[in-house]
A and B are shown apart, each in its own frame.
Chain A
Amino acid sequence: MHTIIAFLFAGALSGGIIAFALDMKTPKEILQGVVGGIIAGFLMAMMLPR
């Protein structure tokens, strides 16, 4: 569970930063980036040993 929380956090933070770096700066686009990052973080955490 702790691994999942850590990766959701890392994913959300990374997703927001990447969306910004991609010049997608409206609140909706940043939020979409954050959600994309959360999905990626969740998938990654699922693949890790717990």
Chain B
Amino acid sequence: MEVLGYLTLIIFVALILLSLFKYINLPVQTVLVLTTLIILVVGAAFRVFSQGWQGVFLLPNEMVGGIILHPITALLAGLFLAGALSASGGFDALKVILNWLQKTPIGLAGTLVIIIMIPVIASLPCGRIIAAALLPLLFAFGMEGGMKILTKPQLIVLIGAFGRNAFGSCGPSPIGGVGQIGEGFLGAHFATAADGILRAPQAFSLFLGTALVALFLKMITMKLYPEDVTLKDLSPEKEEDKKEVKIEAPFKGYLSLIIFVVALLVAIFQPLGKMPVQTVLVVGAILTIILCRVTIQDLMGGIILLPVAAMAAGFMAAGALAATGGFDALGNVLKSLTLIPFLGIAGMLAIFVQMQTILPLSCSRILTAALVPVLYLFGPAKFNLIDWNQLAIVMSAYMINATTSCGSSPLGGGGMMVEGQMRAESGYIRGAYSFGAMAIMAPIAAIYMKFLNLSIFSPDDPELVRNLWIIGGYVVAIVVLNIVIIKVMSFFLTKDIVRNWGFQLAGFLVMGAIAGAVLSLSLYGINIVFIIQGLIGGIIASLIIALMTPKSLVPVKKEEPYPAPGLARE
């Protein structure tokens, strides 16, 4: 069984890597289904000799037993409701509200900040839904969109920061979010974990991470790739030429928005008594269909199947790995890393929390479904490397890092929607997005869980006021450090591509080290050995992440005036 576990683990990792580096040109979901079939065949071949035919017949059942249905059905119900919202013009109503907000005292700056943060507040089960709905609105703020309010650099920051927020918002979503996979496991110890033990740490770190990604885009990305966005900049024109785009929404749009918000609040706070989140969401969607007269065709157009397929494929592969001992093998491999003196448990965990930014797939659910069970095994359930509170801290850091990984994925990840909207070459936002997830979000989520959320969900140490001050101190320190590093990197950037990439690498290493050290600090307190081990683990993780950021992007072809020379009609 042990040899089989290592063999199936190698098959899984090899196929994922081949996909990531585009040696296999198939959708990741297809690759995962193939992986599942191969693992089952290999598993069956081993079992014929070790357990006989009875063991072979039990294998598919064991695989299916590893599939957790709750997050899949919650995700489907969430997408159903979001599809109804989209089809009935709910997002148009939201645009009207945002347009009005601009004219209030909070002005354009305040409105743009709220727009950027809307995805995490709405917390839909997939960031692609809100990105598809609102990215065209953001584009409208620029020269080509018609409003002519924002310059090209402002538009890049706005679209990029919005995308960062959107492609992490599926983590803290209470309606089929990625974080619910982790909450299910933590429920083995924390009685109320299913209420959303991982939501606040993820949302908190996503707020701050989004802001620093905006800064990174402005100060680093635009300097690294100056010619790789073909958005038109504002031309120096008269003030009266700036147009106000008229945005209108039908009444049913407002109605569906109200139903959506009410359904979300009922699903989160359960004021009508305990009931499955799926029930609330389906009732909300049916009400929207009836009251807003949405046709089934409209509704289907609003539903995005990628995250469902990704999650199902991820669970299938995870189930096959579990049935053949692959998780035990992965647990043993990672446990053996803890025996390396300079790495230890702290260093191994510092690498583990960054795993999905190292291997960014099109949907974070794929690997989350496979890796969260392994993380769970590190706890008191099997290996006993960490206690329950430490497991919750690591889980929160891991989860926000995981959920944001689709943003930087080159395999059809959410970030590619952003690059398309800002007319940028593929890979433009990868450095900024992965830096945000690695250097800011993971350590801040760990700190939040340690000092505030554990006191709420496991109130053994209810010194909340003291803990708030500690969180404030840590947050200010981490944010200031990030700003300093970004500023220093920006200062040294020139036109030398290799030199620039070297400075970016150095910045990643410094912040990776600090992120690893902060994780160790939140797990073990002030312990020099653990802090150094975390620091080294952070450096290793950040080195791999930085090596995957592109040195330069493929040059964008300049737009030819139409009709292009040579094609002009006679």
Contacts and interface: CB of A to CB of B under 8 A. Distances in A.
A40 B265 CA distance: 16
Interface string A16-27: 011111111000
Contacts of A36: 106, 109-114
Contact of B109 (A2, A7, A29, A39): A29
A41 B118 CA distance: 10
Given A9-B475, A41-B207, A18 B268 contact: no
Nearest to A50: B456
B266 to A, nearest CB: 12
A32 B195 contact: no
B106 A32 contact: yes
Contact of A14 (B105, B106, B200, B208): B208
Interface in B263-280: 264-265, 268-269
B207 A7 contact: yes
What interface size band does chain B fall in?
35 or more
B195 A19 contact: no
Interface string B37-58: 0000000000000000000000
A17 B212 contact: yes
B370 interface: no
A5 B468 contact: yes
Given A6-B448, A49-B195, A18 B116 contact: yes
SS class of chain A's interface: helix, strand, loop or mixed? Answer: helix
Given A14-B210, A19-B109, A37 B117 contact: yes
B450 interface: no
Q: Chain B interface mostly helix, strand, loop or mixed?
A: helix
B111 A13 contact: no
A37 B106 CA distance: 10
Contacts, number: 143
B107 interface: yes
A30 B113 CA distance: 11
A49 to B, nearest CB: 5
A29 B212 CA distance: 18
A23 to B, nearest CB: 6
Given A36-B106, A41-B207, A22 B121 contact: no
B363 to A, nearest CB: 23
B153 interface: yes
Interface string B187-209: 00000100110011001100110
A48 to B, nearest CB: 5
A45 to B, nearest CB: 8
B448 A15 contact: no
Contact of A49 (B199, B211, B476): B199
Chain A interface size band reads 35 or more
Contacts of A2: 452, 456, 464-465, 467-468
Nearest to A23: B154
A12 to B, nearest CB: 10
Contacts of A41: 207
B117 A11 contact: yes
B265 to A, nearest CB: 8
A32 B102 CA distance: 11
Nearest to B153: A23
Nearest to B476: A13
Interface of A: 2-3, 5-7, 9-11, 13-15, 17-24, 28-30, 32-33, 35-37, 39-41, 43-44, 47-50
Which 9 residue pairs spanning A and B have beta carbons closest together?
Answer: A36-B110, A36-B113, A40-B117, A14-B211, A21-B214, A17-B211, A32-B109, A32-B110, A32-B107
Given A6-B448, A21-B215, 17 more contacts: A2-B464, A14-B117, A17-B215, A18-B112, A18-B214, A22-B109, A22-B158, A24-B108, A30-B109, A33-B109, A33-B112, A33-B113, A39-B114, A40-B114, A44-B203, A47-B265, A49-B269
Interface of B: 105-114, 116-118, 120-121, 123, 150-151, 153-154, 157-158, 161, 192, 195-196, 199-200, 203-204, 207-208, 210-212, 214-215, 217-218, 264-265, 268-269, 448, 452, 456, 464-465, 467-468, 471-472, 475-476, 479, 483
13 contacts: A2-B468, A10-B204, A11-B207, A21-B217, A33-B109, A35-B106, A36-B114, A40-B207, A44-B203, A47-B121, A48-B268, A49-B196, A49-B199
